């Protein structure tokens, strides 16, 4: 069953759709289009409220199946209810200069898929500034795999632009799309994890290639177990460029990637800030692997009260890859940490200003013949892995109070 809020046909020219409220009947389900089958020219959708059905699958489109020209989506509210609902804030496909509305999408159950704007965005389509709300304790209460929130679309190509979206209380979320290609650009998104056993948050896309650019995103982990936060993408290739992201780990275990898990070809990392708050953390300023001719950014890694294992750039760096000038920040009560790629040649720095230190002599340096340990106080130290001789460290390697 398909239901249309205004017309099963086309809205064109400067036509404006009405504001509709529609809830599918339980055990019936179906597909609902808030306004029409197609929006053309300068037409615009209404501000609709659509709700799925219990015990069956529903597909909700805030405005239309496809949007073209300079059409504009309304500010819609879509609420999932069934197990495998699909919610699209505006349309399935957005073309030319179509623009999504500022929509609100609410996850109702496991397995649901929520897209802030569309499944596919082409040409110069723009996403709206959407608000998407997950189910915070979803995994923990045994509902099975989480639903997934995509801030804009499943695919973004051409010169598309993602909106500045807010995705919250979710175990799995991607700020813009599953894949970004051509010259697509991500928005500046805020992603906040739920309080279940784990969360996996990605700032822009699972895959970025060609000339894509990530937004300047903020990711906050809340999971009681593992928080996996990635600033831009699972994989960056081509000439993809990461945004300047801020990642804050969860209260327990956290793995933070400033840009991606893997960067290859000529991908470039952004200047990111990674902040640990949990008991055990792994912080990668750019990626776990910098392959080919990829390039890391100038990142800031901030240690917390737990055990922090830090890489300013990556754990594996190819011969042709370039690494950035990174800053490692420590403070009182920081625990026993390690830096695994401290490079004086890159201009890396260790910030000890929080201790009030003004000279190198305020710290204690020891070596086991392979690594150097810097002791700041009785409960705070950092091991510089692979730096055997502490005498090569100079005042210029530190930032003092």
pLDDT at 142 over 60: no
Residue 384: pLDDT over 90: yes
Torsion of CA 297, 302, 308, 312, to 10 degrees: 20
Pair 81, 130 in one domain: yes
Terminal alpha carbon distance of the chain: 67
Q: Are residues 268 and 346 in the same domain?
A: no
Q: Are residues 286 and 350 in the same domain?
A: no
Question: Which residue in 205, 201, 200, 228 sits closest to 152, CA to CA?
Answer: 205
What pLDDT, on the 0 to 100 scale, is given for residue 140?
A: 42
Please give the pLDDT value at position 136: 54
Same-domain pairing of 281 and 329: no
Distance CA 119, CA 142 (A): 28
* Model confidence, pTM: 0.96
Task: Spell out the residues 6+ positions from residue 361 whose beta carbon is closer than 8 angstroms to its own.
Answer: none
**What does the mean pLDDT of the chain come to?**
94
Q: Are residues 267 and 329 in the same domain?
A: no
Do residues 22 and 53 touch, judged by C-beta distance below 8 A?
no
CB atoms near residue 320 (< 10 Å): 12
**pLDDT tens digits for 291-323?**
999 999 999 999 999 999 999 999 999 999 999
Residue 285 lies in a domain: yes
The predicted pLDDT at position 28 comes to 82
In this structure, the answer to whether residues 237 and 283 fall within a common structural domain is yes
187 and 74 within one domain:
yes
DSSP secondary structure code for residue 99 in this structure: B
Beta pairing, strands 2-4 & 398-399: unpaired
Residue 313 lies in a domain: no
Burial class (CB in 10 A: 0-12, 13-18, 19+), 292: middle
For residue 191, give Cα distances in angstroms to 176, 295, 321.
11, 25, 30
Sign of CA dihedral 119, 244, 311, 354: negative
Whether residue 117 is found in the same domain as residue 17 = yes
Indicate whether 289 and 385 sit together in one domain: no
Q: Assign 324 to helix, strand or coil.
A: coil
Which two tokens mark 44? 């615009």
The answer, yes or no, to whether residue 340 has pLDDT greater than 70, is yes
Query: How open is the CA angle 271-272-277, to the nearest 5 degrees?
Result: 160
DSSP per-residue string spanning 7-75: -SSEE-TT-BPPP-EEEPPTTT-EEEESS-SEE-TT-B----EEE--TTS-EEEESS-SEE-TT-B---
The pLDDT assigned to 145 comes to 55
Considering the domain boundaries, does residue 177 fall inside one? yes
C-alpha distances in Å from residue 373, one per residue of 366, 381, 385: 5, 7, 9
CA distance 56 to 40: 32
d(Cα 133, Cα 149) in Å, to the nearest integer?
Answer: 8
For residues 17 and 123, state if they share a domain. Answer: yes
**Of 56-65, 143-152, 181-190, 293-302, minimum mean pLDDT range:** 143-152
* DSSP secondary structure letter of residue 116: S
Chain centre distance of CA 342: 27
pLDDT digits (tens, 9 = 90+) for 103-122: 999 998 778 899 999 999 99
Q: For residue 82, is pLDDT > 80?
A: no
Residue 140 and residue 7 share a domain: yes
Q: Distance between CA atoms of 396 and 399, rounded to whole angstroms?
A: 8
Planar angle of CA 217, 100, 159, nearest 5 degrees: 65
**Low-confidence winner among 39-43, 115-119, 276-280, 363-367 (lowest mean pLDDT):** 276-280
The residues that bridge with 66 in the sheet, in sequence order, are 38, 93
Query: pLDDT by residue (tens digit) across 84-106?
Result: 899 999 999 999 999 999 999 99
pLDDT for res 250: 86
Does residue 311 fall inside a structural domain?
Answer: no
Asked whether residue 315 is domain-assigned, the answer is no
Q: Residue 41: which region, alpha, beta or left (left: phi > 0; alpha: psi -120 to 50)?
A: left
Q: Give the start-end residues of each E strand in 83-232.
A: 86-88, 93-94, 104-106, 113-115, 120-121, 131-133, 148-150, 155-156, 166-170, 172-174, 177-180, 190-193, 198-202, 205-208, 218-220, 226-230
What is the model's pLDDT at position 226? 85
Lowest mean pLDDT among 123-127, 222-226, 276-280: 222-226
Which residue segment(s) compose the domain that 49 sits in? 2-303
Whether 65 maps to a domain, the answer reads yes
Could you read off the pLDDT of 2-23 as tens digits, one per residue?
999 999 999 999 999 999 999 9
Q: Is residue 310 one of the residues assigned to a domain?
A: no
| pLDDT band, residue 197 (cuts 50/70/90) | confident
Same domain, 295 and 378: no
Do 55 and 82 touch, CB atoms closer than 8 A? yes
Task: Report which secondary-structure segment, H or E, holds 381.
Answer: strand 380-384
Q: Tokens 């929520």, residue? A: 114
Residue 105 phi/psi, 5° resolution? -120, 135
Asked if residue 320 belongs to a domain, the reply is no
Domain count, the chain: 2
């Amino acid at each position: 069953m398909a239901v249309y809020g205004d017309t099963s046909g086309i809205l064109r020219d400067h036509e404006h759709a009405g504001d509709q409220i529609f809830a599918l009947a339980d055990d019936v389900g179906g597909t609902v289009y808030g306004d029409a089958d197609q929006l053309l020219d300068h037409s615009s959708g209404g501000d609709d409220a659509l709700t799925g059905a219990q015990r069956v699958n529903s597909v909700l489109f805030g405005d239309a199946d496809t949007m073209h020209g300079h059409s504009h989506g309304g500010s819609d509210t879509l609420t999932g209810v069934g197990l495998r609902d699909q919610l699209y804030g505006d349309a399935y496909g957005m073309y030319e200069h179509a623009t999504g509305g500022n929509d609100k999408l609410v996850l109702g159950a496991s397995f649901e898929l929520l897209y802030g704007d569309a499944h596919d965005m082409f040409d110069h389509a723009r996403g709206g500034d959407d608000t998407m709300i997950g189910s915070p304790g979803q995994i923990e209460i045994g509902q099975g795999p989480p639903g997934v929130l995509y801030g804009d679309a499943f695919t973004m190509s051409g010169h598309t632009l993602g909106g500045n979206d807010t995705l919250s209380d979710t175990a799995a979320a991607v700020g813009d799309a599953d894949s970004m290609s051509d010259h697509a650009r991500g928005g500046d998104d805020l992603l906040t994890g739920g309080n279940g056993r784990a969360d996996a948050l990605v700032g822009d896309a699972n895959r970025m290639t060609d000339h894509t650019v990530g937004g300047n995103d903020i990711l906050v982990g809340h999971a009681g177990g593992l928080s996996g936060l990635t600033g831009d993408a699972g994989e960056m290739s081509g000439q993809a460029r990461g945004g300047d992201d801020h990642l804050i780990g969860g209260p327990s275990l956290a793995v933070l990637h400033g840009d991606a898990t893997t960067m290859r070809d000529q991908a470039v990392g952004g200047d990111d800030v990674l902040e640990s708050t949990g008991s055990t953390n792994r912080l990668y300023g750019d990626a776990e692997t910098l392959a080919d001719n990829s390039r890391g950014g100038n990142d800031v890694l901030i240690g917390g009260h737990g055990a922090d294992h830090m890489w300013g750039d990556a754990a594996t760096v190819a011969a042709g890859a370039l690494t950035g000038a990174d800053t490692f920040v420590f403070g009182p009560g920081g625990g026993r940490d390690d830096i695994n790629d401290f490079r004086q040649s890159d201009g890396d720095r260790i910030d000890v200003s929080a201790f009030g230190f003004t000279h190198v002599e305020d710290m204690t340096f020891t070596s086991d013949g392979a690594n150097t340990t810097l002791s700041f106080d009785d409960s705070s130290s950092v091991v510089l892995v692979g730096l055997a001789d502490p005498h090569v460290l100079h005042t210029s390697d530190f930032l003092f109070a």
